[in-house]
Amino acid sequence: MKKVVLLSVFVFFAIASFAQNVNWVERNGALKVVDGKILNSKNIQPQLRGISLSWSIWEGKKYYNQDVVNWLQSDFNISLLRVSMAVQPDGGYLQNPVEQEELVTRTIDAAVKKNLYVLIDWHDHHANEHLDQSKMFFAKMAKRYAGKPNIIYEIFNEPEKITWQAVKDYAVQVIAEIRKYDTENIIVVGSPHWDQDIDVAAKDPIKGFSNIAYSFHFYASEPSHQEILMKRADEAISSGLPVFVTEWGVGEANGDGKFDVEKTDKWFSWMEENKLSWANWNITDKKETTALLVPGASPKGKWKPEMLTPAGKYIKKQLRKLNK
């Protein structure tokens, strides 16, 4: 009887371990956009679910390493990692391009090695003012990662107070630069008002390029991010716009505030119903609501439950439940 029990325990943990180590790229292959949907190589919506690293400066910088990537893959069971390269703030890409490029490419390489999909995020609210730098960066990324189905380019994070036409003009030039070297991988375009006015983009989408998607951001507990914002996204989806939730948080729009579980569950159900891929904000130990780690959490991963914030515990539970 003792041997039977031990064998059962071994089988249980072996199955659990297997479930937590899916080869996501082998399962889905190269992604594409067809008739307003993001599909995998089998023409099925894959619904990638994962986590966004924080700005690659400040508190979040220390988590840009292989150990953290490995832990997010094995323990949180992510299928997607967003690498959010800081551009404009002090210490970001504009000031330290070599350092930032080396930091993010090491992290991207670690994620590719683990068969994860990776959003390469130009984390810049004023990307249209840094067109030349953006084109140079994404040309390098496209040369480096062309042919790797893991890679997704996110070329403009949360445009602030500019028009859709300004975003579109910028995007077309960056897309053209990427397509010189990578003709297939998906490129995600931002929309005005911090990636909230996706309905505006849906009325005048970019044409002339294949495999283009559009980012939508929300903060689940933000009072202004409820029915009105969800309706905008519903309109965009209904009109045939391919939507990717490249960032969302459990708290309010400033990253802090209340963690309203009821509102978060509602947004979560909405993403699942629409089969939208998403990356949750964010891996950092800053003392705020959307941070997944408590201050002092190890920069090497292997976080025990007490090292996770309420947001961290919630997101980990959802990922382990849904990514099968």
Q: What is the DSSP string of 107-128?
A: HHHHHHHTT-EEEEEEE-TTGG
pLDDT digits (tens, 9 = 90+) for 159-199: 998 999 999 999 999 999 999 999 999 999 999 999 999 99
Half-sphere exposure in the Cβ direction for 12 (13 Å, CA):
6
pLDDT of 15 reads 42
pLDDT of 20 reads 57
Point out which residues pair with 279 in neighbouring strands: 50
% of the chain beyond a pLDDT of 90: 91
pLDDT digits (tens, 9 = 90+) for 240-299: 999 999 999 999 999 999 999 999 999 999 999 999 999 999 999 999 999 999 999 999
The full set of domains in the chain, from first to last, is 2-322 (3.20.20.80)
H-assigned helices in the chain? 2-19, 24-28, 66-71, 97-113, 131-145, 164-179, 192-195, 198-203, 227-238, 261-273, 310-322
Separation of alpha carbons 286 and 208, rounded Å: 42
Token pair listed for 319: 């990922």
pLDDT digits (tens, 9 = 90+) for 86-95: 999 999 999 9
Show which residues are catalytic.
158, 247
